Structure 1
Amino acid sequence: MAVSFETLEYDVGGTRTVIKAIGKGKPILFLHGASTLEGFDFAAGLADRFRVLCASHPGFGFSGAAPHVAGMSDMVVHYLDLLDALDLEEKPHLMGFSMGGWMATELAGVARERFDKVVLVAPAGLNDPAHPATNLGALAPQDLPAYLAHDVSVALRYFPDGSDAAFAEAFGTDRAREGETLGRLLAPFGMGHPNLRRFLGRINNPALVVWGEEDRLLPASQAPLFVDALPDARLILVEDAGHFVMQEKPGTLTQVGDFLAG
C-alpha cells in the first residue's frame, strides 16, 4: 500500500525546497542520506504519534538545484533558514540518517536550542581510521545493494530490475543529479568533518543513536564513538540489520517513537 504524503514547498534563499509531510503531532525534521533512492515511506512508522517532515536537501530528491552548495556549512545554513520559514509552534525533534546524521550533528551542534530531542541513525561524519567506512567509489554498481541492507532483497526494491526502462532512466538521472551535488558537498573533507566530536560535544539535547549490527557501509563499531561523544545519549543496536535499518526492521521506529515521546 502506497504511503500518502502532503507536499509542502518553500523558497529558501532562492532554492525551491520540498518537504514530504505525514502524520500529526509534535514535528520531526528528518534529514536523508547521500541519496533519496529509498524514499521516505519509513516515516509512516512514526506518523501515528508525530508529524514527520521529510525535506529533500537542495540538489537532491524533490528540491531544486543548488549550485551554491560548496560544503556542509551551506546545508546547515539552509536548514536554519528553513526552520525560520516553517515557523513551527513548538521545537521539532531532529532526526538524521547516514549523511543526514552527519548533517544533523553539525546542525544541532551550532543550534541545539532550536530542537528538542536528536536521533542519529547510522550517522556518517566521524571518518575514524580505526573504524573505516566502505569506499563507495570502489564498489561496482551491482554490488551496492548488498552494502545497503543485510537482507539484500530489501535494498533491491529500490533499484531498477530491468523490467521498466522508464524507471531505470529516471533512476540514473536522479542519481547523477544527486551525485553532482554530493561531490561539491564532500569536497572540503570527504564524508565527514575532522572536528565532528566538537559538534557532538555541544549537543546536550537527549539523543538516541540507532545502528544496524550488520551495517557494511558504516560499521556499527562507530556507534559507541557517537554515544561517548554526546553528553546525553542512548544506543539501540539492531540485530540482523544493515545500513537501511529502518527499512529492514520497521519495528525499530516504534523504539525511536517511544524515545521521542518519553
Structure 2
Amino acid sequence: MSKFERQTLTVDGVKTVVHTAGHGEPLVFFHGAGTVDGFDFAERWTDRFRVIVPYHPGFGESGDDPTFTTMHDYVMHYLELFDMLKLDRFNLVGLSMGGYLAAKFASEHGHRVKKLTLIAPAGLIDPKNPMLDILAVPGEAVPGLLVSNFDVLKPKLPEKPDLDFMGERYREATTVARLFWEHPGDPKFMRYLHRIKVPTQIIWGEEDKIIPAGQAETWRKFIPNADIQVYKGAGHLVHLERPEAVDAVARFMS
C-alpha cells in the first residue's frame, strides 16, 4: 500500500489502524474475515476518492477487544471512529464479512452512507445457496477456496509461513469464531435490510466457493433496486481476479 498513510487511533480503548490515500469524496472499505489478500487493489480508487481502509479490531494491525461478540459491536466501533475522523457522510464498500458489516451499518445509519457496494457479502440465511462453513475448513485449505485462479493469490502468501504469519491467521480465525461460532446467522439482520435506501451495488464472482453467487438474487429480494454484477472466471475474491470489478465500483460511486 505504497500510496497509503498509516494512522493509529484509540477508539474506546481499542488500538485501530487506518490507512488513507487520495483526494475527493470519502470512500471507506471494510475488509473481510481475513487480511492476507491485502488492500493494494484499493489504490485504483485513489484518483477519484479519499480512500479510508481501517483494520477491524481483532484483525491485521489493529488491536483486539474480546468483548466484541456481535456485528453490532463493530457498528458501534465504527460510529465512534467515523466521528473521530469527522466523516459525516461517505461511500461504503464491504467485502464478505465486511459486506455484512457494511449492509448492517447502512440499514441502521443510512443517513451517513452516500452509496453502498457489497462484494460477495456474507450475512444472509439462504438455504438454497448456503454459505460454506468456513470454521469447519482446515486453515491450510482456505486460500485455495478464495479464488478461481490460485496464481492471483499466490504472490500474497509466503512460500514458507513463519510463526508470525501463522499467528496472525490464528488470531483472525479466533476473532471470526468468537463472532459466528454460536450464531452463524442472524435473522434480524435480514428483517431490516429493507431500510437500505441508498443506491446499492452488489458484485460477485460466478465461481465463488465460499458464498455462492446464487445469493445475489436473494439480496435483490431485500434490496430490489440493487445493481447486481456477476463476473465469470472469478471466485470469492473477485476484486483480485477481475480488476474491472474494482473499476466498476469507482464508476458506481462516482
Instruction: Quickly name the TM-score band, shorter chain normalised.
Output: over 0.9
* Aligned partner of 1:170 among 146, 164, 178: 164
- Report the Cα distance in structure 1 between the residues aligned to 2:13 and 2:172, rounded to whole angstroms: 18
Aligned residue runs from structure 1 range 186-201, under 5 A: 186-190=180-184, 192-201=185-194
DSSP-derived class of the 2:72 partner: helix
Instruction: Say which SS state the counterpart of residue 214 (structure 1) adopts.
Output: coil
Which whole-Å CA distance do the structure 2 matches of 1:103 and 1:203 have between them?
13
Task: Indicate the residue corresponding to 1:238 in structure 2.
Answer: 231
Count how many residue pairs are aligned between Structure 1 and Structure 2: 254
For residues 127 and 3 of structure 1, do their structure 2 counterparts lie closer, same or farther at Cα, with a shift above 3 Å needed? farther
- The Cα offsets for residues 144-164 of structure 1, whole Å up to 9 and x where unpaired, read as 2221000011122232322xx
User: Residue 211 of structure 1 contacts residue 236 of structure 1 at CA under 8 Å; is this kept in 2?
Assistant: yes
CA positional deviation for 1:196: 2.5
Partner residue, 1:205 = 198
Cα distance, 1:188 vs structure 2 = 4.8
> Are the aligned partners of 2:135 and 2:181 in contact in 1 as well (CA < 8 Å)?
no
Distance 1:248 1:187 in 2: 29
Q: How large is the Cα RMSD of the aligned pairs? A: 1.5
Q: Give the secondary-structure state (helix, strand or coil) at the position aligned to 1:62.
A: coil
- Alpha carbons of 1:146 and 1:187: their partners in 2 closer, same or farther (altered >3 Å)? closer
Q: Which residue of 2 aligns with 1:148?
A: 146
Q: CA deviation at 1:44?
A: 0.9
Residue 102 of structure 1 aligns with which residue? 100
Shift of 1:187: 4.3
TM-score between the two structures when normalised by the length of structure 2? 0.95
Contact kept in structure 2, 1:66 and 1:181, CA below 8 Å: no
CA contact (8 A) 1:205 1:232 kept: no
Amino acid at match of 1:45: R
Q: CA deviation at 1:31?
A: 0.6
Question: 1:200 corresponds to which letter in structure 2?
Answer: L
Assess, with a 3 A threshold, how the Cα gap between structure 1 residues 23 and 102 changes in structure 2: closer, same or farther. Answer: same
Q: What is the Cα deviation at residue 233 of structure 1?
A: 1.1
CA contact (8 A) 1:21 1:54 kept: yes
Moved over 4 A (4+): none
C-alpha separation in 2, matches of 1:95 and 1:55: 12
Q: How does 1:1-262 map to 2 (within 5 A)?
A: 3-88=2-87, 91-162=89-160, 168-190=162-184, 192-261=185-254
Matched residue SS, 1:195: helix
One-letter amino acid matched to 2:105: L
Q: Is the 2:106–2:113 contact (alpha carbons within 8 Å) kept by the matching residues of 1? A: yes
% same residue: 39
Distance 1:64 1:141, change over 3 A: closer
* Distance in 1 of aligned mates of 2:213 and 2:224: 20
Q: CA deviation at 1:9?
A: 2.0
Give deviations 1:95-115, integer Å, cap 9, x for gaps.
Answer: 100000001111111100011
- Where structure 1 has 5 or more consecutive residues not aligned to the other structure, the ranges are none
Deviation of the 1:37 alpha carbon: 1.0
Whole-Å separation in 1 of the counterparts to 2:143 and 2:155:
9
Change (3 A) 1:140 1:65: closer
CA deviations 1:189-242 (Å, max 9, x no partner) are 21x422222232110000000000111111000011112211531111111110
The answer on whether the counterparts of 1:96 and 1:121 sit within 8 Å (CA) in structure 2 is yes
TM-score w.r.t. the length of structure 1 is 0.92
